[in-house]
Amino acid sequence: MAPKSPSARPARTKRRRKFWLRALLITAAGLGGCLVALWVAVHRYDWMGPLVANSLRSLLGTDAVAKIEDWVYAAEDRVNRVTRQNDAPKAYWNVPASASAAAAPSVTERILGKDSELPAFRPKDPGPALKQWSAPGDGVWVPIVDPRRPEEPPYLFKTLLHPDASRSWAELFVVAVDVRRVDTYIVAGNQEPKSDNPKLVYERPAKIPVLHHEELLAAFNGGFMTEHGGYGMKVDGVVLVQPKPNACTLALYENGSLRIATWKKLAEGEARMRWYRQAPECMYEAGKIHPGLTMGTGRKWGATLDGDTVIRRSAVGLSADQQILYVAISNHTTARVFADGMRHVGAVDIAQMDVNWSYPKFVLFEPPPGATERKAVALASGFEFSEDEYIRKRARRDFFYLVRKPRTK
């Protein structure tokens, strides 16, 4: 055989390089497509985010996943700052011109066997969080009418704020609940919070009991998983997770009153509590902001994430007279912006419950046209939920729900 020409070697090398470059580009494009598809799925299906995060934690560890999450949310925020810098603050519902001026009538109701004349329930409009940066209707309380009982005075009001001066797309949705006429319940998820007592036996239906479906008004998410802080929970007289002394705690007492405070201030009254759920340290307590929110040590309110992470958050708060429970869900907010927004609407005690894209949610329950059985309806568009959320679908995580207090004829 004749020897190969030396000039053929560069040609073969060049072909190989083209082959591997093409293969590399195809692989990169495939990975990029997979990442985009995964990102879309995480933002569309409520089960996808937890599945991905938990799978990665089992492979890489909690700290590594936290760094990845921080990087992803920071990247998303940088993209938003470029692509949405000219966006105007967005309104999500119509605010009637009379909403801020209408005076709610007093309510005479027979609750728990007693006739009582209750003062009108209508929170004071806080107005926009930033006057120069708001959507129409920001800071105006709008009644949420139960479609099955439209003649009854509202039990819930909603409002929207745009509390971040550098992000017009940062949104804070707040619901005000009339504690006098609404009972708040808590339910453990079928997986979380995991008990810190390996010997504990506790049945977890993880759904709203059928006996409360008739009076059901709304439901919203609970707190962090046990591995993210070990925050305590008591339900049905059973302590699933032991309380932490410095954790912010939402507690319901036997007399129906609610409190939000650091556990050390509430601990002596535990025997009188029907339930409690803990969260990171109180963002605000008795109207005073936590020093960590002013000194940049905000990791307390993101579990493994930094408090400056721009992310979806949820929280509960109480008015100074403890007659109004505030439930809030945000989009694209830091811990400080979120806390200040809740303080703006009237909450003096604030406990952040959860973060991330999939977990925070607030749903109302309405019957479909021509039907009597209720289905879940999101408070605003863009939040992940299913029609059977909390009511027929077992929840993996703990949650709260709201019902009209029992009436007697």
pLDDT beyond 60 at 272: yes
pLDDT on residue 40: 47
The answer to whether residues 223 and 353 touch, using CB atoms and an 8 Å cutoff, is yes
307 vs 281, higher pLDDT: 281
Task: Compute the average pLDDT of residues 209-229.
Answer: 94
Per-residue model confidence (pLDDT) at position 263: 98
- Determine the Cα–Cα distance for residues 343 and 273; give it in Å rounded to an integer: 26
pLDDT above 60 for 405: yes
Beta bridge partners of 251: 259, 276
* Mean pLDDT value of segment 188-214: 95
| pLDDT over 80 at 76, yes or no | yes
Is the pLDDT score of 90 beyond 70? yes
- For residue 353, what pLDDT is reported? 96
Q: Which tens digit of pLDDT belongs to each residue from 102-119?
A: 555 566 665 555 556 778
Residue type, 267: A
Average pLDDT value for residue range 87-103: 80
What's the confidence (pLDDT) of residue 72?
79
pLDDT at residue 342 is higher than 60: yes
Neighbours of 333 (CB within 10 A): 25
Share of the chain above pLDDT 70, in %: 79
Over the chain, what is the mean pLDDT? Answer: 85
Q: Kindly tell me if the per-residue pLDDT of 96 is higher than 60.
A: yes
Is the predicted pLDDT of residue 281 greater than 90, yes or no? Answer: yes
Spatial CA neighbour of 279 closest among 359, 180, 208, 333: 359
State the average pLDDT over residues 144-160. Answer: 92
Give pLDDT, residue 16: 74
Higher-confidence position of 5 and 37: 5
Instruction: Tell me what pLDDT residue 287 has.
Output: 98
* For residues 310-332, average pLDDT: 97
Task: Say what the pLDDT of residue 382 is.
Answer: 87
- Measure the CA–CA gap between 381 and 247, rounded to whole angstroms: 32
Q: Which residue has the higher pLDDT, 3 or 163?
A: 163
Residue 211 has pLDDT above 70, yes or no: yes
pLDDT of residue 367: 81
- What pLDDT band is residue 85 in, cutting at 50, 70 and 90? confident
Structure confidence at residue 394 as a pLDDT band (50, 70, 90): very high
* Residue 385: predicted pLDDT: 84
Vertex 234: Cα angle to 198 and 266 (nearest 5): 125
Q: Name the one residue in this structure whose structure tokens are 């105006």.
A: 140
pLDDT tens digits for range 234-254:
999 999 999 999 999 999 999
